[in-house]
């Protein structure tokens, strides 16, 4: 998003999250976290007698990932990314996208109660479980999913280009936000959870919990997850940068990944104005060479 780009000053095309990282983080949280039935995981920050809460696991994992990425950048180990070939980049992004797509199918169809699948060939096993439970599809959830996808496709691929071309509007219509607000209102006023058993997010408390120091005793249980996520984050960043650089014809300096990570983890001054626009700078270099 351009708002994020204005803050962290990296390439505008890569200023967003990636679903694979969210899935990997969620797996770690599900494995270690314990949420008492009578407590809210977003507000309960004290270690329960049964184990850590989801927010404690997620915060500890985030800190550990930041430490690992900073160490990789300081030691210069990010040089490995310079050997990523186009075939490796294409295969990695395609495989990651397929995992995300398969993971979302059960939510699109409103199927609940599926077993958890991990390890080798888990994507194929998830597809098998979905086919086996196809009879439990929630038609209301499936209909809402279809309408939402239709709105997003028509809005982003048809309406937005037409509006920007005819009206010279520099800001696209936020169809994602419209879909979220519209879906929330429909679920609330139509009581879809009660009448049609549509799964919703539920109660979301206002405000943010007070900051506390992460539980370092969780680091030993999260070290493998943190290493895996750190590698995936680095690979995704470089892969998408190379794909978009090829599309928009500008150069990517993979060594800058390490410097960017250090700034993101240690230096709050990156949010001050004055840093040069990387995207425009690299595009200008390519134009000058031509």
Whether 265 and 223 map to the same domain: the answer is: yes
Whether 166 and 226 map to the same domain: the answer is: no
Assess if residue 206 is contained within a domain.
no
Element (H, E) at 92: helix 86-109
Whole-angstrom distance, CA of residue 154 vs CA of residue 131: 29
Assess if residue 127 is contained within a domain.
no
Assess if residue 235 is contained within a domain.
yes
DSSP state of 170: S
Assess if residue 109 is contained within a domain.
no
pLDDT value at position 224?
Answer: 92
Assess if residue 219 is contained within a domain.
yes
**CB-based contact 238:257 (threshold 8 Å):** yes
Whole-angstrom distance, CA of residue 99 vs CA of residue 96: 5
Whether 15 and 63 map to the same domain: the answer is: yes
Q: What is the pLDDT along the chain (290 residues), one digit of tens a residue?
A: 444 444 554 555 555 556 788 888 888 888 888 764 444 545 555 555 567 888 889 989 989 988 888 888 788 776 777 777 777 777 877 888 888 899 899 999 999 888 888 778 888 999 999 999 999 999 999 999 999 999 999 999 999 999 888 888 888 899 999 999 999 999 989 999 999 999 888 777 788 777 778 888 999 999 999 998 888 887 777 777 777 777 777 776 666 655 665 565 554 333 333 333 333 444 444 445 44
Whether 2 and 80 map to the same domain: the answer is: yes
26's tokens: 């969620």
Number of domains in the chain: 2
Note the pLDDT tens digit of each residue in 170-188: 888 999 999 999 999 999 8
Q: Other C-beta atoms within 10 Å of 184: how many?
A: 12
Whole-angstrom distance, CA of residue 209 vs CA of residue 216: 19
Helix (H, G, I), strand (E, B) or coil at 225: helix
Whether 192 and 222 map to the same domain: the answer is: no
Whether 19 and 67 map to the same domain: the answer is: yes
Q: Which residues contact 156 (CB under 8 A, 6 or more apart)?
A: 172, 175
pLDDT value at position 280?
Answer: 40
Whether 19 and 83 map to the same domain: the answer is: yes
Q: Which residue in the block uniquely carries the two structure tokens 């949010």?
A: 271
Assess if residue 103 is contained within a domain.
no
Whether 251 and 183 map to the same domain: the answer is: no
Whether 144 and 177 map to the same domain: the answer is: yes
Whether 151 and 8 map to the same domain: the answer is: no
Whether 86 and 1 map to the same domain: the answer is: yes
Assess if residue 111 is contained within a domain.
no
Packing angle, helices 139-154 and 86-109, rounded to 10: 140
Assess if residue 158 is contained within a domain.
yes
Range of the domain at 146: 139-197
């Amino acid at each position: 998003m351009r708002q994020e780009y204005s803050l962290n000053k990296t390439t505008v095309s890569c200023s967003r999250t990636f679903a694979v990282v969210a899935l990997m983080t969620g797996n770690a949280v599900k494995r270690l976290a314990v949420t008492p039935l009578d407590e809210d995981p977003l507000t309960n920050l004290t270690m329960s007698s049964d184990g850590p809460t989801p927010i404690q696991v997620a915060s500890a994992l985030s800190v550990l990932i930041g430490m690992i990425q900073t160490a990789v950048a300081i030691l210069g180990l990010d040089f490995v990314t310079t050997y990523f070939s186009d075939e490796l980049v294409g295969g990695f992004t395609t495989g990651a996208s397929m995992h995300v797509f398969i993971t979302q199918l059960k939510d699109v169809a409103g199927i609940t109660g599926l077993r958890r699948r991990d390890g080798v060939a888990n994507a194929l096993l998830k597809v098998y479980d979905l086919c086996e439970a196809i009879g439990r599809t929630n038609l209301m959830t499936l209909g809402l999913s279809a309408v939402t996808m239709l709105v997003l496709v028509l809005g982003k691929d048809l309406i937005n280009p037409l509006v920007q071309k005819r009206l010279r509007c520099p800001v696209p219509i936020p169809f994602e936000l419209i879909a979220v607000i519209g879906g929330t209102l429909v679920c609330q006023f139509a009581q879809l959870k009660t009448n049609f058993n549509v799964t919703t997010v539920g109660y979301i408390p206002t405000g943010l919990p007070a900051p506390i120091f992460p539980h370092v005793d969780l680091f030993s249980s999260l070290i493998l997850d943190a290493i895996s996520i750190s590698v995936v984050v680095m690979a995704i960043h470089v892969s998408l940068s190379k794909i978009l650089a090829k599309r928009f014809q500008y150069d990517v300096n993979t060594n800058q990944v390490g410097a960017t990570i250090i700034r993101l983890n240690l230096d709050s001054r990156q949010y001050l104005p004055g840093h040069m626009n990387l995207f425009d700078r690299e595009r200008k270099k390519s134009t000058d060479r031509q």
